[in-house]
Structure 1
């Protein structure tokens, strides 16, 4: 009888020890899992998603005793695009930079620009519900060097002439990695014209200089021009095939303070055809309409020109080196 009691007590002790060991193991596993989850969450919260491309396109033509005529020429365009994005909890912060500069040189002629761009973008948002963010956007645009009219050689633009700063508050819709749309009913747009002769001429919408009857300048032209209105910015990208990517971006701005029906448009498209990891061909277009930009336009049926508003369009095909960052 005593032996049975001792055996029963031994079995109960073994069961209790095993249960306690299993309970301790479960607690240790849960603690380890919680620590691992916290570590992953903290790491993810600190992670910046970055990337970009560097591209160099070149073309060259050499003519020697060429009976058909023509000019020897060399041209090149360098482009740099990069982004740095961060998301932690409900907060998202997207940043990007786009730089480009291109030149064309022909025999007996000064080099001419074919591209000139500085663009910085930042957008900070708080997620209200899935795919919808309350966001603030900032955008800055200008160019590196002075621009000249191809026909007359007259200076028509320069660094910070114009320079454009856009600040907007609105809703940002990002349903997936391919599409985004920022909609702002309250956006400030400030245009800078730091070159005084261009400012005196009233370029890019600023108030021009005033002169007396003898042509003496009384006041300088304004160096800034303020607008307030609605702004929409959209982006879509998609891989059409394994080595073919399509990207399009479009900006629309309506100035509430003057002629809101005349909407400013900046719409660009880009097809990238990758040959391998470092060589690619590109096809791009850029359409611009700015209600405050005056351009030289020909009178139909004559050789005369006049200054007026108009749609600008550029198309380019490039083949060259493309490196991913």
Structure 2
């Protein structure tokens, strides 16, 4: 039951957006046409354009006296990926929200486990200095809905543990509505670990997600680069990729944090679609269990990778 509430919450936030389906249809069609043809962003009509994709994938297996063996199981993932963008004259405001939660329960006596858990909000406001170049400010928030555990059942994460809040001012290059590059040489990022249990057993100089033992947050100042590309490749195929790079000037600036995501959506019909989502993360402050060549266990940074392939209900807003 502990994973049911976040799953339903992600749906309750996402599904009301379906009511916007007809509100901005004309503006969305114009924006979609611009995406396909590469029309410059300044030709897109002023006002709001909204879009979103809701995906719900479920799997259920029931075995009774099955000679080949195995366990009954149930799993599901709900994901919302939406945007709300505003443009008027030389001003532009882009917003995106990603909510995802998934879990599985195998009927073999083990507890339910998460398979996905994500909250991410991005906002960028810009003023056009000259064609395709904006003076812009960005805000980003990332966290998760509920607690996470390692293979030994030890809690290693929770809501707001970690959480990342980023605020920066810089230049945004956006030659068209498909592509943008934002760079800020001075960006503030707050790393939050609001769960004391994650620090249990650690020394006074140890850190969790970069936060020193005894604290609940760590303020970082650094350089930030964000790239984004989106495209409607065909009538029923959309592609989105975005990458974030951050270097903390205050501690180990050579260790650059990397987040790179791709999302493919293959629409089968009005109600069904296949989605392929990948996320690659490298954060030097995230310590993960590893084993050296001699078989000795230790913790250290490592490249994280997640791939999710789903086929199920899909609503394109």
Residue 147 (1) aligns with residue 148 (2) = yes
TM-score normalised over the length of structure 2 = 0.81
The structure where helix makes up a greater share of residues is 1
Contact 1:199–1:207, Cα closer than 8 Å, also in 2: no
Greater RCO, CA 8 A, separation 6+: 2
Aligned mates of 1:50, 1:110 — CA distance in 2: 39
1:202-221 alignment, distance < 5 Å: 202-208=207-213, 221=214
- Alpha-carbon RMSD across the aligned residues, in angstroms, is 1.5
More deviation, 175-184/156-165? 175-184
Aligned mates of 1:118, 1:252 — CA distance in 2: 19
Aligned mates of 1:170, 1:300 — CA distance in 2: 44
CA deviations 1:159-181 (Å, max 9, x no partner) are 00011000111111111121111
1:45-60 alignment, distance < 5 Å: 47-60=47-60
Contact 1:193–1:199, Cα closer than 8 Å, also in 2: no
Residue 324 (1) aligns with residue 316 (2) = yes
CA deviations 1:273-300 (Å, max 9, x no partner) are 1101221001111110111111112334
Aligned mates of 2:218, 2:69 — CA distance in 1: 47
Contact 1:138–1:166, Cα closer than 8 Å, also in 2: yes
CA deviations 1:176-206 (Å, max 9, x no partner) are 1211111111111110111012245431111
Aligned mates of 2:240, 2:294 — CA distance in 1: 38
Contact 1:199–1:206, Cα closer than 8 Å, also in 2: no
Aligned mates of 1:205, 1:145 — CA distance in 2: 20
Aligned mates of 2:94, 2:232 — CA distance in 1: 21
Structure 2 alignment gaps of length 5 or more: 1-44
Contact 1:83–1:96, Cα closer than 8 Å, also in 2: yes
1:53-202 alignment, distance < 5 Å: 53-107=53-107, 108-149=109-150, 151-199=151-199, 201=202, 202=207
CA deviations 1:112-155 (Å, max 9, x no partner) are 00010111111110001111100000000111000001x21000
Structure 1 alignment gaps of length 5 or more: 1-43, 209-220
How far off is 1:301 after superposition? 6.2
